[in-house]
Structures are given as structure tokens and as C-alpha cells.
């Protein structure tokens, strides 16, 4: 049987006072002796509740500008003493140390202070010492002590104490201890990352709060969990529970659509774009994005970088899509899109993707900076005797954005800022070119005047030869092959404009 342990004494010392009043009143109802410090002590007393200053217990005042308040044996002894240990009990009696059964402590807002742009001295002062020590001590001794380490637990605490006449079970105390160690672990990780700013090769530490259990992982036989705050990125307006594969596609869609400023529609399938178009309005952008590959679009994800109106919603609604992403929907558009019960409709919020990406492998973690380079016209180096026109440069930059977000080896064909064919995830670059051409022809696109983007250099001239044979007359690529001259020479002999970016965009 899980023995219920009563709360007779409590230590309360918190930075955030909201929601605390109801807890204090409940402790008063059960005649719990309260020890407290500083502003928390004033808060408790202003509620008309008796409380003892920790200074009265320790015989020492708060010193060093508040840096030392609770770091004293009379505080930690009362928390760490094992109630079933005769020696511990004897020492408590010898040194007049009261047992402390409940500890309510939260931590200085270190992360919020860093994000606020505060000075280094202000940030350092928000590194909590006493609070972390109290939390760890109480959590360690969960067999005898109940630790409440953040204000979100107040509701559960009140429920436990009210239902059990101010007593808690071992299992409840252990659960609160688990949550307490999560708090201190996350806090220490944030401090470590502040001091270890950048990619200094010391240790990999990451703490992501928030958990979303998924129906399964990539496949039904695999378990899957998402750690993170999805709600800070999106508001889900409609649809079924989001899956592991949905999340992968959503991430890829957001990374791509954020690259465009003008009205653009992106359609993705398995993390790769199968339709992209930039136009003066979303109606035309939708029509031309879908035309890029209407077969692959089925069951995919749509991302739009502007408001979805009724006319576009009606067209989208004719096809099965798993997810729709946009910053805004008109009421009539939303009504239309919600007619499909399971369709996931997301309203994207104004958030920034992380600057660093991670991937687990070989029982370790790969860490790298996100590929945030976005080429512009003044970054292009013309390497052929024929220079691209302004219209070609516009198409080349458009295609280069898409190929950057496509699985390597990747080739993208574009014309008039419309994706007309792509070859992705191929083991050879020339195969990627063949696949892109095959796709374009399958949907009746005229490749004459199209442009080609490659995520990496051409090892041989065969890729540009093949593209030229189909009508492509401008190429963008990183350059850097020992055989660059072969491709350049072919382009010069056939009136093709080629530009180098100097930036490779592998994506695996």
C-alpha cells in the first residue's frame, strides 16, 4: 500500500507569484507551518497568512544582494533528512532543524532574460543558485518531500492536498521529482548553451520542452514522439491528428515557402516540391503550381504565403491534400476547406526556424548550421560568353531556391517562375536531369527557353548536353568541378548562358 505522508511544514520561495495565493490559502486551511523568503514572504503575509522568515530559522540574513538566502544546513538539513533514518532524525533534533515536507520553488527567468537582449551582467544575475539547489535536494528526497518546481503544477498540487487531507503518496512525490529534475536539467542546459554559444566542439546538449505523442513513427510499427512547441508555430484550425510524416512535410514546406516574398504556392510530397509557382495573385499561382505535377500533388501538402480566398479554396478542395498551410484564410475559404473532415488546416504564425539542425546517427548526433544562403543576382558569376537576360536571371534564382530544398542529387527545370520538372534523390546527376526532363514532358511542358538549376557541380558535360537537346538555354550551378571547362565550352559553343553561384546546396 502506498503510504500517504502529511505535509506539516512548507518552504515557499518563488520568483513568479501568480497562482500562488490559492496554494497558500489551502496550506493555511490545513495549519501548515510556512517558511519563506524576501518578496515571497511579503506576498504570503499580505494574504493575511502567518509565515516565518528563513532568516529566523537560519540566524543569518539574506546577504550579497540576495545571492545567499537559503543555502544553510537548517534549510537543507530539513529537506534532505531521511525520516526513517535514526541518525538523521537525531541530528535534526540536536541542531534544532525542522523537517520540511513541501518545497515550492521556481527559478529566475534565465532564458527570458537572454532573449530580452539584457546585458551580460544582468544575465549572470539570473543564474539561479539557491533555487536549483533546493529543487534538487527536495527531488532527491522524494520519499519524504513533495517538490513543486513550477507554477503550472499548482493545480495538481491543490488537487492532491484537497483530496487527501494535505497528504501525498510516494508515487505522486516521485512524479513531481521527475518533473523537477526536468526543470533543473533544462535550466542548466540553457546556461551551458549561453556560455557555449556557437558550435564549439565541447558537448552536445539540447533541451526541448513540450511533447506530442504521435500515433506512430514513419511507419505503423514504429513508435514516434515530437518534442517541441508546435503551437508556437501553428494554430491547427481543422483536421485529424498530425502524424510523423506530416511533420516532416510541414517542416520542408515551411522552409521552402519562407524563401518567397511574392505570391507563391508550393505543393510538396515526401519532402520534395512537386509544384511551385510565383505569380501576381494566388489564383494563378495555384493553377500553375498544380500544373507542375498534378499526379504527385495528390495526397501532398500545400503551402501558401498569403491569404487563402474562396476562389483558391474551391480549387484546392477538388483534390485530396493532407495539409494546407497559410498565414490567413477568409471565412468562406475556411468553410470550404473544412468540408473534408480529416484535412489538416494550419494557420502559420510568425516564427523563425532554428539556426541549427540536428540528425541522429551512429548512436550520436550530427549538428550543422541551417543552409540559409539565398543567392541574389549580384552573387552570380557569368562564366559563358552568353549572358543571361533579366528574365532568365529571375527564373534561375527561382529554380535555385527550389533545388536548394530538394533531395540530392537534384535538378530543377523552371520557366516563367514555374516549376516544370524536377529530378530528386538520384544517385547520379545525369539521371536527375533525365528524370526532370521526363517529368516536364509528361505534363506537356515546352522546354524551349527553360532554365536548369543544379544543387551541385556537373562532373561531366553530359548534363548540359542533355538539357540543351531539349531546349534549355540557361543554367545555374555552384561550379567547382575539375571539369567545369567542359560544361562551359559546350555552353559557349551552343549559345547557353551559365552562371556559377559558388554555393553548393546538398540536402540528404
d(CA 375, CA 479): 14
Catalytic residue from among 8, 19, 270, 307: 270
Q: What are the cell numbers at 268?
A: 510538396
d(CA 253, CA 267): 8
According to DSSP, the residues that pair with 421 across neighbouring strands are 413
**505 is annotated as an active-site residue:** no
Contact 108, 126 (CB under 8 A): yes
Contact 359, 336 (CB under 8 A): no
The CA-atom distances, in angstroms, between 60 and each of 64, 66, 77, 327 are: 12, 12, 16, 57
Contact 70, 35 (CB under 8 A): no
Q: Write the CB contacts of 409 (distance below 8 Å, at least 6 apart in sequence).
A: 423, 424, 425, 426, 427, 428, 429, 431, 432, 455, 456
Adjacency order of strands within the sheet including 9-13 = 52-53, 33-36, 9-13, 102-105, 146-148
Q: Is the dihedral of CA 256, 257, 261, 263 positive or negative?
A: positive
The CA-atom distances, in angstroms, between 501 and each of 147, 392, 412 are: 57, 15, 15
**25 is annotated as an active-site residue:** no
Choose among 104, 121, 122, 128: nearest CA to 190.
Answer: 128
Helix residue spans in 164-279 (DSSP H): 170-195, 244-257
d(CA 31, CA 133): 27
According to DSSP, the residues that pair with 369 across neighbouring strands are 356
The CA-atom distances, in angstroms, between 439 and each of 291, 413, 433, 435 are: 11, 10, 10, 6
Element (H, E) at 103: strand 102-105
Choose among 59, 89, 90, 52: nearest CA to 74.
Answer: 59
- Count, residues in the chain: 508
Choose among 161, 111, 106, 157: nearest CA to 134.
Answer: 106
Element (H, E) at 407: none
Choose among 268, 265, 294: nearest CA to 280.
Answer: 265
- Provide the 3-class DSSP secondary structure of residue 276: strand
| 186 C-beta neighbours (distance < 10 Å), count | 16
Catalytic residue from among 19, 140, 158, 193: 140
d(CA 275, CA 421): 9
- Catalytic sites, residue numbers: 140, 270
Amino acid at each position: 500500500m502506498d503510504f500517504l505522508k502529511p505535509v506539516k511544514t512548507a518552504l515557499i520561495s518563488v520568483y513568479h507569484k501568480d497562482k500562488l495565493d490559492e496554494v497558500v490559502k489551502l496550506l493555511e486551511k490545513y495549519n501548515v507551518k510556512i517558511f519563506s523568503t524576501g518578496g515571497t514572504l511579503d506576498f504570503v503575509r499580505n494574504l493575511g497568512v502567518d509565515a516565518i522568515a528563513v532568516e529566523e530559522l537560519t540566524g543569518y540574513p539574506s546577504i550579497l544582494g540576495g545571492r545567499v538566502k537559503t543555502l544553510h544546513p537548517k534549510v537543507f538539513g530539513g529537506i534532505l533528512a531521511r525520516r526513517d533514518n535514526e541518525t538523521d532524525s537525531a541530528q535534526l533534533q540536536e541542531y534544532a532543524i525542522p523537517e520540511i515536507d513541501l518545497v515550492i520553488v521556481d527559478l529566475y527567468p534565465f532564458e527570458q532574460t537572454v532573449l530580452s537582449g539584457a546585458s551580460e551582467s544582468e544575465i549572470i544575475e539570473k543564474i539561479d543558485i539557491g533555487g536549483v539547489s533546493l529543487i534538487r535536494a527536495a527531488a532527491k528526497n522524494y520519499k519524504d518531500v513533495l517538490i513543486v518546481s513550477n507554477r503550472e503544477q499548482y493545480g495538481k498540487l491543490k488537487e492532491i492536498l484537497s483530496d487527501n487531507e494535505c497528504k501525498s503518496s510516494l508515487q505522486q512525490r516521485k512524479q513531481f521529482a521527475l518533473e523537477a529534475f526536468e526543470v533543473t536539467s533544462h535550466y542548466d542546459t540553457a546556461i551551458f548553451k549561453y556560455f557555449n554559444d556557437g558550435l564549439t566542439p565541447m558537448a552536445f546538449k539540447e533541451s526541448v520542452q513540450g511533447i506530442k505523442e504521435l500515433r506512430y513513427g514513419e511507419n505503423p510499427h514504429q513508435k514516434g514522439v515530437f518534442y517541441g512547441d508546435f503551437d508556437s508555430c501553428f494554430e491547427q484550425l481543422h483536421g485529424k491528428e498530425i502524424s510523423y510524416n506530416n511533420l516532416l512535410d510541414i517542416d520542408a514546406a515551411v522552409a521552402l515557402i519562407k524563401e518567397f516574398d511574392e505570391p507563391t504556392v508550393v505543393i510538396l510530397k515526401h519532402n520534395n516540391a512537386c509544384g511551385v509557382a510565383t505569380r501576381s495573385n494566388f489564383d494563378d499561382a495555384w493553377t500553375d503550381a498544380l500544373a507542375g505535377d498534378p499526379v504527385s500533388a495528390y495526397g501532398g501538402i500545400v503551402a501558401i504565403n498569403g491569404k487563402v480566398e474562396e476562389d483558391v479554396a474551391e480549387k484546392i478542395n477538388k483534390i485530396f491534400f493532407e495539409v494546407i498551410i497559410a498565414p490567413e484564410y477568409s471565412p468562406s475559404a475556411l468553410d470550404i476547406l473544412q468540408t473534408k473532415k480529416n484535412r489538416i488546416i494550419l494557420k502559420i504564425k510568425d516564427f523563425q526556424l532554428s539556426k541549427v539542425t540536428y540528425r541522429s546517427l551512429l548512436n550520436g548526433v550530427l549538428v550543422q548550421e541551417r543552409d540559409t544562403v539565398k543567392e541574389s543576382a549580384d552573387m552570380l558569376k557569368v562564366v559563358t560568353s552568353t549572358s543571361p537576360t533579366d528574365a532568365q536571371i529571375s527564373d534561375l534564382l527561382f529554380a535555385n531556391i527550389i533545388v536548394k530544398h530538394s533531395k540530392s542529387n537534384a535538378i530543377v527545370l523552371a520557366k516563367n517562375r514555374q516549376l516544370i520538372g524536377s529530378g530528386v534523390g538520384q544517385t547520379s546527376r545525369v539521371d536527375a536531369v533525365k528524370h526532370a526532363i521526363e517529368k516536364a514532358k509528361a505534363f506537356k511542358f515546352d522546354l524551349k527557353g527553360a532554365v536548369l538549376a543544379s544543387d551541385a557541380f556537373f562532373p561531366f558535360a553530359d548534363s548540359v548536353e542533355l538539357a540543351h537537346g531539349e531546349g534549355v538555354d540557361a543554367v545555374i550551378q555552384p561550379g567547382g568541378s575539375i571539369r567545369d571547362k567542359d560544361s562551359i565550352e559546350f555552353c559557349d559553343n551552343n549559345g547557353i548562358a551559365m552562371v556559377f553561384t559558388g554555393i553548393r546546396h546538398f540536402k540528404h
